[in-house]
Structure 1
Amino acid sequence: MYSQTMCVKLIKRWEYGYNTRCRPESRVSAASVSRVLKNDTTFSVSQKTRERILEAAGELGYNKCFEYSAIQGARGTIGVMLLYGEEEEVEDKFYQIIRVNIKMELEKNGFKVKEVFESMLDTNASKISDYQGLIFVGYSTLWYQKKVFRQAVLDSGLPVVCADFHLKDGSLTADCVINDFKQAVKKVINIFLKKGFDSIGYMGTYGLEANGKIHRDERFLYFWQIMKSLGKYDEKNIYLCPSNHTQFGYELGKEIIRKGRLPRAVFVENDTMAIGFLKALKEEKISVPGDVAIVGCNDDQVASFVTPGLSTVKSHNDLVGMMAAKTLMECLYTKREQGLKIIVPNQLILRESCPE
């Protein structure tokens, strides 16, 4: 449909141009023009008048642009496939923020939403065809592990949008809305180097296994890539464990301290893990940032309340969720077949754990 700005301009030109050329009884009000251009189905107007308005719009050079409210036909149910367990949201709100914003945006536009967590994906595979479209949230590796679910999605031919990961599967064309982790890691390394910290470490997870192969977290891959290019990568400063939850950050921190190999600065995969690391350092009376500077990732709501306040890279997961929903609605409207990638920027927030 037409954008609001275009509607206003068209209405003004209509009143001055088109209506001055018509007999009084043939003139159309500005309100009528606006409602026709906005595809208001509740507005009663003759087909002839509707066609005259649209024809004049074309003559005046106004092109259509997409409005989600213009999706034709009944709005059905969108399946939000959560490639993680419910317990994941208890420890870390990362995916919850994405999920909630997807649901809000879809429901605001008249769609119903059905959320399916990881444990029920294969069980609900037979119902995939009941949805108008699908949005995936979570760990991409589970896409390959849930074989019944994967095959049902491939057979359905439904449009798919991945929120926070890029699905690299040649069998499926999917859109993706992702956080810009490359820039996030680059910002952290740059601030460490700017402060003169040559010994820079990384704390995170081993990654996830799929099809016999370990898939590393993107933050680690970008850290490895950037540090290698700078000639500063040191395997001894890489600290990995099975999970990025608080307890694992604490236990890994204790192990690092016990071995006596702390670097001058550490980038941590997420804030919950970083908070566990901070606790371990505090118990061992190691000064932050005096002895070691720490920067986390995501800007968890508690990051500013811990002591010292945790420096972090803020991920706009609310925007990731909203744009995933908008992208799927656009695909339903346009019937687009080519996949696209949307990259959401982030913001470096410096607090006491690595002050400016």
Structure 2
Amino acid sequence: MKKLTISQIANLAGVSKATVSRVLNGYPHISPEIREKVQAVIQETGFQRNNVARLLASNRSNIIGLVIPSGAKAVFTDPYFPAVTQGITQFCNQNQLTLALFVFHSEDEGMDTIKNILTAGLVDGLVITADRKDDYFIPRLIEHQMPFVVLGRPEKNIQDISYVDTDNVGGAYMATKHLLELGHRRIGIVACNTNSAGDDRYKGYLQALEEYDIDTNPCLIAYGDFSLNSGYEATRRLIPEKPDAIFVSSDTMALGGLQALREVGLTVPDDIAIVGYDDLPPAVQAGPPLTTVRQPIEKSGLLAAEILMGILDEEITPPHQVVLPNQLIIRASSGAT
């Protein structure tokens, strides 16, 4: 029997070639009826895809890159990155893709890395974490028409860029409002202004205060960079201002803040309430367990990879932008349990 093509399978099943490709690649967002119809035709015809021929014909490598514009120390010590990488890896494993990781420490190193990616042609597309406001290499990717999806809201060219983000404004609003509902009025914040996520969480904090007619107090605002030590130092700066609660813009910084409070003899939540952001695994193990905003980090990574593959397969027209909801997880650190 002559070997059938994907186009012939599509004709027999009465669907598009792209739909057959999605069924073969195990994409989740296909109706059960369509999936069963395509799988029935595949079984009846004994169709087997020639992966080597498919890659040669499509000029694809089946390799996607994950670009993290942070130092290696942050990548391997911040629990956020393993969580998001797990989501991307899950999608890659389900779809016979290889994931390449690119980490760099400076703008010059980053530009050299991006140049090598663009000239070597080894990856089909990129997922990029929005770790900083000035993603200096994104214009190069656009110029060279390299498909990419940003994890987080990009600071520039937002209307032209595909991204997956979570509702950082809404999440921070929920966290701050939770503290307000508990009766706290002198609420400090450990903010972060290095990327759009930090900016949006600060906006959510301000929105909640405004709703309760509370003026912003500059003395109750301290900045970190999402690292443990910066959370420690920022909390130390807030302690003399005697806040009765602190919203910390990441769990990692909140863990540093808890350490700072312990060192000066303040107990959580009796002396001061704390709410974090992310709901990373260490939040449950903290002393006391951390009230925090749970954002779907792993799901974000998986969805970013899925959107990138949809763009590569010409099933999604960029820019494609998704904002996922968050959830407030109440534990002992806020004093509500």
Q: TM-score band (shorter)? A: 0.7 to 0.9
Letter in structure 1 aligned against 2:104:
E
Distance 1:179 1:43, change over 3 A: closer
Residue in structure 1 matched with residue 203 of structure 2 by the alignment: 221
Distance 1:216 1:318, change over 3 A: closer
Q: Bigger radius of gyration, 1 or 2?
A: 1
SS of corresponding position for 1:267: strand
Distance 1:83 1:41, change over 3 A: farther
1:68-118 CA distances to partner (integer Å, 9 max, x unpaired)?
xxxx94553212221212111233211232123213312431222222113
Q: Does the alignment pair 1:196 with 2:186? A: no
SS of corresponding position for 2:72: coil
Residue-pair matches, total:
297
RMSD value, Cα:
3.0
CA distance in 2, matches of 1:241, 1:188: 17
Answer yes or no: is the 8 Å Cα contact 1:316–1:344 preserved in 2: yes
CA distance in 2, matches of 1:255, 1:8: 58
Q: What is the correspondence of 1:124-203 to structure 2 with a 5 Å cutoff?
A: 124=113, 125-129=115-119, 130=121, 131-144=123-136, 149-169=137-157, 173-203=160-190
Unaligned runs of 5+ in 2: 1-18, 24-29, 51-56
**Deviation for aligned residue 1:221:** 2.4
Answer yes or no: is the 8 Å Cα contact 2:171–2:204 preserved in 1: no
CA distance in 1, matches of 2:34, 2:281: 41
CA distance in 2, matches of 1:264, 1:220: 18
CA distance in 2, matches of 1:294, 1:327: 36
Distance 1:79 1:10, change over 3 A: closer
Q: What is the correspondence of 1:333-348 to structure 2 with a 5 Å cutoff?
A: 333-334=313-314, 336-348=316-328
SS of corresponding position for 2:203: helix
**Deviation for aligned residue 1:9:** 7.3
CA distance in 2, matches of 1:10, 1:113: 31
Residue in structure 1 matched with residue 282 of structure 2 by the alignment: 302
CA distance in 1, matches of 2:142, 2:82: 26
1:19-47 CA distances to partner (integer Å, 9 max, x unpaired)?
xxxxxxxxxxxx753547xx974189xxx
**Deviation for aligned residue 1:177:** 0.4
Letter in structure 1 aligned against 2:330:
L
Distance 1:143 1:41, change over 3 A: farther
CA distance in 1, matches of 2:314, 2:63: 18
Residue in structure 2 matched with residue 79 of structure 1 by the alignment: 65
Q: Does the alignment pair 1:5 with 2:11? A: no
**Deviation for aligned residue 1:275:** 1.4
CA distance in 2, matches of 1:8, 1:111: 21
Q: Does the alignment pair 1:249 with 2:236? A: no
**Deviation for aligned residue 1:242:** 4.4
Answer yes or no: is the 8 Å Cα contact 2:206–2:216 preserved in 1: no
Answer yes or no: is the 8 Å Cα contact 1:163–1:321 preserved in 2: yes
CA distance in 1, matches of 2:306, 2:318: 16
Q: Does the alignment pair 1:208 with 2:214? A: no
**Deviation for aligned residue 1:180:** 1.3
Moved more, 173-182 or 229-238: 229-238
Unaligned runs of 5+ in 1: 12-30, 45-71
Provide runs of 4+ in structure 1 moved above 6 Å: none
**Deviation for aligned residue 1:222:** 2.4
